[in-house]
Amino acid sequence: MATIIDYKKCTNCKVCYERCPEGLFELDGDGNVYVARPDECWLCGACQMDCHSGALRVTYDLNSKPVFVKLK
């Protein structure tokens, strides 16, 4: 899975940075948004749905198998 920012479309509005429940996004030294922790994505799609410019895409690996944890 990957969260991809299309910087040609991105307006740097920081909506993704503000709305991500897992805090995947960070700001670089110039204040531009980037994906800092891609492996922590919950695949909720909030960033993609809320992106006004259509610059974000959350991709899903259809070959991955779900992980089930038995709770005691």
Residue pLDDT, tens place only, 20-68: 999 999 999 999 999 999 888 888 899 999 999 999 999 877 766 666 6
Residues in the chain: 72
- The domain total for the chain is 1
Q: Report how far residue 72's alpha carbon sits from residue 40's, in angstroms, rounded to the nearest whole number.
A: 25
Note whether residue 22 is domain-resident.
yes
Q: Is pLDDT above 70 for 7?
A: yes
Confidence of residue 2 (pLDDT cuts 50, 70, 90): confident
Give me the residue label for tokens 């038995």.
Answer: 70
Note whether residue 69 is domain-resident.
no
Q: What is the pTM of this model?
A: 0.77
C-alpha of 23 from chain center: 9
CATH of the domain at 49: 3.30.70.20
Domain with 18 in it: 2-59
